[in-house]
C-alpha cells in the first residue's frame, strides 16, 4: 500500500539490519540516517522499538553474540570430538563468518572491543562481557580435555585457553584487514601446533 | 603573553597530541574540538599545519608507525640474538607500549585496521600498508632464521611469519580489552611454543 520505500514493522527483521550497520561502521561511525535507511524504519518507530543509539547498539551486539557466535561456542564446549578437531572447526567457523560476503567483514564483538575509547561505558562493559564469555568457553573446553586425558597431566590448560581464545582476536582482525586467505588458514595451522599431544601411554608416573 | 590556555606553535609537539586523540577515539570518534583541545592549536592553525581531518589522521598514523613501532621492528629484523629471544622481546615491547598508562590503550595501527568500515579508502589503504610492512618484517626475520639454521630445514618459515605477525593483533586487542596481564603474558609463552627447535646436529641428510 505504501508508496516509495516499504517500511518494516517487524523489529526482529530490523534488528538484523541494525546489527550490520554497527558491525560495519562502529558505534560512532553509524549515523541515525544509516540506521533508518538500513532498517527501513523511520526514526520514531526505530526509537520506539529499540530505544536510543546506545540501547540499539547493546541490543544489536547481544543479538550478534547470541546468534552468530552462539552455535560455534556451544559446539566448542560440548562436542565430544577430539580437541584438535573441535578447535580447528571453531576457528574455521570464525573465519567463515568473518569472511561471509553477505555480512560485514570481521567480528562485531572484536570491533566493539577496539572502539572502547569512544563508546559509553556500558557498551565497553558489554563488549568485554562477551569477550570474557568466549574465554570462559575455551577454559571449560581445555579443562575438560585435560580431565579426559587429551592433554598431558602437567599441561597448563588455562594458559592454552588464554592462547586459543586470543587467536579469535587475531583471526578477526586479519579478515577485517583483508589479509590473504592462505595466511589466515596458515595461522590456524601453526596455532594448533601449540597443542601438546596426549601423553605416551607407557609414560611412568 | 596569551591569557588562558597557551597556544602551541610547534606542529611536531601538536602531532604527538593528535596521535593520542585518534589512537584513543578513532577517526570517526575524534571530533574537531577533541583535536583542538588536545593540540592546543586553534582550528585555523591546525588545518594550516596538517590539512583536513583525513590528512591529519594519515600524518598521525604515519608518525605513530615510524616512531613507536619503528624501533622494535628494526630490532626484530636486525638483531643477531636467538630467534626465540628476539620474538619474545618484540612481543613484550608491543604489550608494554599497548599498556603504557601515559598513552592510549592498545595499538593505533590495529585500531585503524578495525575501523575500516567507516573510514576514507585512503586511510584504510594506509592502515593495511603498515600492517603489511609489519608482516614483511616477520617474514624477513623468519627466513633469515631458517637460512642461519635456527629452524629445521623443512620448516615453513612464511607460515610461522604469518602466525607470529598475527600475534601482534591478538595482543593489541587483549590489552585494549583490558584482559588480565597474566593472560596476555601466557599467550606470548604459548605462542612461542609453536617455534620448532633447531634440528639435531647429527641429523642425516
pLDDT tens per residue across all 205 residues of chain A: 344 455 556 888 899 999 999 999 999 999 999 999 999 999 999 999 999 999 999 999 999 999 987 789 999 999 999 999 999 999 999 999 999 999 999 999 999 999 988 899 999 999 999 999 999 999 999 999 999 999 988 899 999 999 999 999 999 999 999 999 999 999 999 999 999 865 444 444 4
Do residue B131 and residue A179 have CB atoms under 8 angstroms apart? yes
Residue B148 has pLDDT above 90, yes or no: yes
In terms of residue numbers, what domain contains A28?
11-61
Q: Which residue of A has its CA nearest to B164?
A: A187
Identify the pLDDT of residue A154. 87
The shortest C-alpha distance from A41 to chain B (Å) reads 22
Residue where one domain finishes, among candidates A42, A61, A80: A61
Cross-chain Cβ contact A114/B106 below 8 Å: yes
* Cβ atoms < 10 Å from Cβ of A75: 16
How do residues B61-106 score in pLDDT, each as one tens digit? 999 999 987 789 999 999 999 999 999 999 999 999 999 999 999 9
Report the 10 Å Cβ neighbour count for A73.
Answer: 20
Are B79 and B164 members of one domain? yes
Q: Do A186 and B163 touch (CB under 8 A)?
A: yes
**Residue A59 CB neighbours (<10 A):** 18
Contact B177 A116 (CB under 8 A): yes
- The grid cell for B1 is 603573553
CB contact residues (below 8 A), chain A span 41-60, against chain B: none
State the DSSP code for B120: -
What do you get for the CA distance between the two ends of chain B, in Å? 78
Examine the fold and report which residue of B21, B46, B61 is the final residue of a domain before the chain moves on: B61
In a domain, B24, yes or no: yes
Say which of A127, A171, A178 has its CB closest to residue B128: A178
Q: Is B84 helix (H, G, I), strand (E, B) or coil?
A: helix
Distance CA B190, CA B192 (A): 5
Q: Is there a contact between A117 and B24 if contact means CB atoms under 8 Å apart?
A: yes
| Closest in A128, A189, A190 to B177, CB measured | A128
CB distance A30 to B117 below 8 Å = no
Which chain A residues are closer than 8 Å to B177 by Cβ? Answer: 113, 116, 127-128, 131
Q: Cα angle vertex B25, ends B20, B28, to 5°?
A: 125
Do A18 and A55 reside in the same domain of the chain?
Answer: yes
Asked, for residue B197, whether it belongs to a domain, the answer is no
Record the cell numbers describing residue A179, joined without a space: 589479509
B107, part of any domain:
yes
Same domain, B51 and B92: no
Q: Would you state the pLDDT for residue A6?
A: 53
∠ Cα A90 A93 A94 (to 5°): 90
Number of domains making up chain A? 2
pLDDT of A5 reads 52
- Domain of A135: which CATH number? 1.10.357.10
* Spatial CA neighbour of A160 closest among A186, A183, A192: A192
- Domain boundary among the residues B61, B76, B97 is at B61
| B89 is a domain residue | yes
In chain B, residues with a C-beta closer than 8 Å to the C-beta of A156 are 186
Residue contact B171–A166, C-beta within 8 A: yes
Query: Cβ of A191 and B163 within 8 Å?
Result: yes
What pLDDT, on the 0 to 100 scale, is given for residue B1? 39
Q: Show Cβ contacts of residue B83 under 8 Å, excluding neighbours closer than 6 positions.
A: B141, B142, B145, B150, B151, B195
B175 neighbourhood in chain A, CB within 8 Å: none
Collect all residues of chain B within an 8 Å Cβ-Cβ radius of residue A171. 166
B169 and B147 in a common domain: yes
Which of A160, A166, A190 lies closest to B159 in CB terms?
A: A190
Residues 65-124 of B with CB under 8 A from A: 104-106, 110-111, 113-118
DSSP 8-class letter at A115 = G
Question: What 3-state DSSP class applies to B99?
Answer: helix
Task: List the one residue out of A99, A96, A100, A25 whose CA is nearest residue A60.
Answer: A25
| Inter-helix orientation angle B121-147/B157-176, to 10° | 130
CA distances from B88 to A26, A102, A152, B79, B156 (A): 33, 39, 25, 12, 20
Domain check: are A56 and A74 in the same one? no
* B147 plus B113 within the same structural domain: yes
Which chain B residues contact residue A23 at CB under 8 A?
117
Residue B94 falls within a domain, yes or no? yes
Among partner residues A135, A167, A176, which is closest to B114 by beta-carbon distance?
A: A176
Q: What is the pLDDT of residue A152?
A: 85
Domain assignment present for residue A6? The answer is no
Predicted TM-score (pTM) of the model is 0.92
Q: What is the domain-level CATH number for residue B33?
A: 1.10.10.60
Contact A186 B177 (CB under 8 A): no
The answer to whether residue B1 sits within a structural domain is no
B1 and A1 Cβ atoms separated by less than 8 Å: no
Q: What angle do CA A195, B153, B137 make, to 5 degrees?
A: 75
- Identify the DSSP state of B116: G
In terms of domains, do B74 and B55 share one? no
How far, in Å, CA of B180 to CA of A155, rounded? 20
Residue A162 and residue A73 share a domain: yes
Q: Do B186 and A163 touch (CB under 8 A)?
A: yes
Residue B100 lies inside a defined structural domain of this protein:
yes
Instruction: Inform me whether the pLDDT recorded for B8 exceeds 70.
Output: no
- A148/A188 same-domain check: yes
Same domain, B26 and B123: no
Residues B47 and B104 in one domain: no
Both B100 and B185 in one domain: the answer is: yes
Amino acid at each position: 500500500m505504501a508508496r516509495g520505500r516499504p517500511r518494516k514493522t517487524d523489529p526482529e527483521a530490523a534488528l538484523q539490519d541494525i546489527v550490520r550497520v554497527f558491525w560495519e561502521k562502529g558505534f560512532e561511525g553509524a549515523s541515525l540516517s544509516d540506521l533508518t535507511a538500513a532498517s527501513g524504519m523511520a526514526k520514531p518507530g526505530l526509537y520506539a522499538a529499540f530505544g536510543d543509539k546506545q540501547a540499539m547498539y547493546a541490543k544489536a551486539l547481544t543479538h550478534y553474540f547470541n546468534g552468530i557466535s552462539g552455535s560455534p561456542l556451544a559446539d566448542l564446549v560440548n562436542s565430544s570430538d577430539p580437541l584438535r578437531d573441535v578447535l580447528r572447526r571453531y576457528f574455521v567457523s570464525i573465519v567463515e563468518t568473518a569472511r561471509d560476503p553477505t555480512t560485514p567483514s570481521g567480528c562485531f564483538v572484536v570491533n566493539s572491543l577496539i572502539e572502547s575509547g569512544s563508546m559509553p561505558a556500558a557498551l565497553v562493559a558489554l563488549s568485554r562481557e562477551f569477550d570474557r564469555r568466549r574465554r570462559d568457553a575455551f577454559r571449560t573446553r581445555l579443562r575438560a580435555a585435560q580431565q579426559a586425558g587429551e592433554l598431558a597431566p602437567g599441561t597448563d590448560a588455562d594458559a592454552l585457553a588464554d592462547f586459543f581464545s586470543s587467536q579469535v582476536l587475531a583471526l578477526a582482525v586479519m579478515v577485517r584487514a583483508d589479509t590473504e586467505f592462505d595466511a589466515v588458514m596458515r595461522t590456524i595451522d601453526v596455532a594448533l601446533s601449540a597443542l601438546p599431544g596426549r601423553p605416551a601411554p607407557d609414560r611412568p608416573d
